[in-house]
Structure 1
Amino acid sequence: MRHLALLILLLHAAPALAMRQSTVELPGPPGVTLRAELYLPDGPVTGPAVLGMHGCAGFRRPDGQVSALYREWARLLTGQGHAVLLPDSFGSRGQGEQCTRRERAILPGRERRADAIAAARWLVAQPFGGPGVVMMGWSHGGSTVLWTANNPEGAPILAYVAMYPGCGVPNRLASWNTAAPMLLLIGEADDWTPAWTCQQLAGRFPDRIAYHAYPGAYHGFDAPNAPIRVRTGLAYTAGNNGQAHLGTDPAAREDAMRRVAAFVAGVRP
């Protein structure tokens, strides 16, 4: 109970928690230099580094600043003593958002999996990296988590966190597996990446995947202060109509942050 109370305190105190942010470059897959944002605790690093993989819109706002979703997750995790790295898979290749593109230039199971493997290896080579990392991803990045977990090529990834990923294709593959424990969180009302495929996938690995779905929550439920809206023009949605709801569910957001914080804190080499 004391641990849970501390996590709740961290959540409510998040705006006051200090962290150090810098832009870094690191070697990616052959021919690619990955630009990334690195967040370090304003104090000692006391847990595994977290590798965060952004969604199909990227992790920056139009003004170039990091979006509130990723900034607040970095604030929470650095507040617990974790370094956080956010590689820019799209900007590093001169690409923009992939949400509206039917013919995507950058795929979760191809370029982005390679980015994650390269970034994980870079992280553990840093003084703050430790012996292994926790990989976390949202939406397109959550799908990247699934594909990396299936074939990490020996990358030093100790655990995975998938936030509302696309589970359809992995769920249809009898060969899909996860190389390390996984936490998978999604909204039951998600009409962009449907929850039922993730529930089925997690059900195949009850001892490896901790699954939780939030009733009434949509895609992006963990974004801070984002009113529910309908986004149109999307390339892939559950109903194949190019439309999906997204926005904050405050209760789901708070619960997800508690679950992720506890999961990451419990990861051991």
Structure 2
Amino acid sequence: MSFPSVTVGASQAGPEVSGWVSRPAGDGPFPAIILAHSCAGTGRHTDTWAKLLVSWGYLVLAPDSFNPRGTKAVCTTPNVVTPNMRVADIAGALDYLATRPDVMKGKVGIIGHSHGGSTVIRSAQKSFDLASRGLAVGVAYYPGCNPQFDGGIDIPVLLLAGDKDDWTLADRCRKLVSSLAHGDLVEAVYYPEAYHSFDVKAADRTVPSAPGKRHHLAYDTVAAPDAEARTRAFLTKYLR
């Protein structure tokens, strides 16, 4: 399936967005989750999370923000597609979900990881007013926080970060949260021993982000299940 990207605020519409929907059995309507992929694009991690969310009773829309813009991944070229650009895709996703009779009106959340987590933070900004399109809640896994530009969060956000993350630094998120006008909207959890991608069940590895820069990625047996439980509870609180 596909839907238009939509200009909102300072985020200009991109090309038509492709994506796929997974949903529980039955007629619904269901609360829905927009699943924002990482800098690696859609793949096994997206599929794993979609299946988990469907098992919790959510309809899941996983938009692909990269292929329509002519790239498969942006881990080493982060400015090719930015979280700010992806907000237009999220606006389009919300408009698309609003047309579906199997989606509960006003009961839509967004979950994102890394680049997708940054997209969650950006989508939560008051300047984009995605709440008026039905966005009720966000969950950001190890996002890149930008205290200079992301201070206008106006929907509830669960922020999950690793203190040993050397790619998207937890201290930048701490600085952001401490500067928020409505800090009560953000529940931030920092895992002392967790690295980037702490919920991805894969062998420890290092990956590049730019020439001369490499980052450690590792699954964390403490952080991953705790974050999953917190995510489920947070979504239940606001979407059920």
Name the TM-score, length of structure 1 as normaliser. 0.79
TM-superposed deviation, 1:125 = 1.6
State whether structure 2 residue 167 is matched by structure 1 residue 192. Answer: yes
State whether structure 2 residue 152 is matched by structure 1 residue 148. Answer: no
Within 5 Å, give how 1:22-37 maps onto structure 2: 24-29=1-6, 30=13, 32-37=15-20
What is the alpha-carbon distance in structure 1 between the residues aligned to residue 37 and residue 83 of structure 2? 11
Aligned residue number for residue 49 of structure 1: 32
- Any idea what the Cα deviations from partners look like across 1:58-84, whole Å, max 9, x if unmatched? 012xxxxxx1x2222212211121001
What is the alpha-carbon distance in structure 2 between the residues aligned to residue 33 and residue 164 of structure 1? 27
Q: Per the alignment, do residues 261 and 268 of structure 1 end up closer, same or farther by CA in structure 2, a change over 3 Å counting?
A: closer
Within 5 Å, give how 1:123-134 maps onto structure 2: 123-132=97-106, 133-134=108-109
**Cα RMSD, aligned residues only:** 1.9
The SS at the match of 1:221 is coil
Q: 1:120 aligns with which of 94, 105, 115?
A: 94
Give the letter for the 1:250 counterpart.
T
TM-superposed deviation, 1:166 = 0.6
TM-superposed deviation, 1:45 = 3.8
What is the alpha-carbon distance in structure 1 between the residues aligned to residue 113 and residue 128 of structure 2? 18
Identical columns (%) = 36
Q: 2:206 aligns with which of 210, 224, 230?
A: 230
- Any idea what the Cα deviations from partners look like across 1:146-166, whole Å, max 9, x if unmatched? 111113333310011111111
Question: Is contact 2:124–2:154 with CA below 8 Å preserved after alignment?
Answer: yes
Aligned residue number for residue 78 of structure 1: 54
TM-superposed deviation, 1:268 = 4.2
TM-superposed deviation, 1:258 = 0.6
What is the alpha-carbon distance in structure 1 between the residues aligned to residue 112 and residue 203 of structure 2? 22
Aligned residue number for residue 8 of structure 1: none
* Structure 1 residues without counterparts, runs of 5 or longer: 1-23, 61-66
TM-superposed deviation, 1:37 = 1.8
Task: Detail structure 1 runs of 4+ shifted over 4 Å in the superposition.
Answer: none
Aligned residue number for residue 18 of structure 1: none
* Structure 2 residues without counterparts, runs of 5 or longer: 7-12
Aligned residue number for residue 21 of structure 1: none
TM-superposed deviation, 1:47 = 4.5
Question: Is contact 2:22–2:50 with CA below 8 Å preserved after alignment?
Answer: yes
What is the alpha-carbon distance in structure 1 between the residues aligned to residue 98 and residue 51 of structure 2? 21
Aligned residue number for residue 230 of structure 2: 259
Aligned residue number for residue 206 of structure 1: 183
What is the alpha-carbon distance in structure 1 between the residues aligned to residue 87 and residue 232 of structure 2? 24
What is the alpha-carbon distance in structure 2 between the residues aligned to residue 47 and residue 106 of structure 1? 31
- Hey, which of these two has a bigger chunk of strand by percent? 2
Instruction: Tell me the matched-pair count.
Output: 228
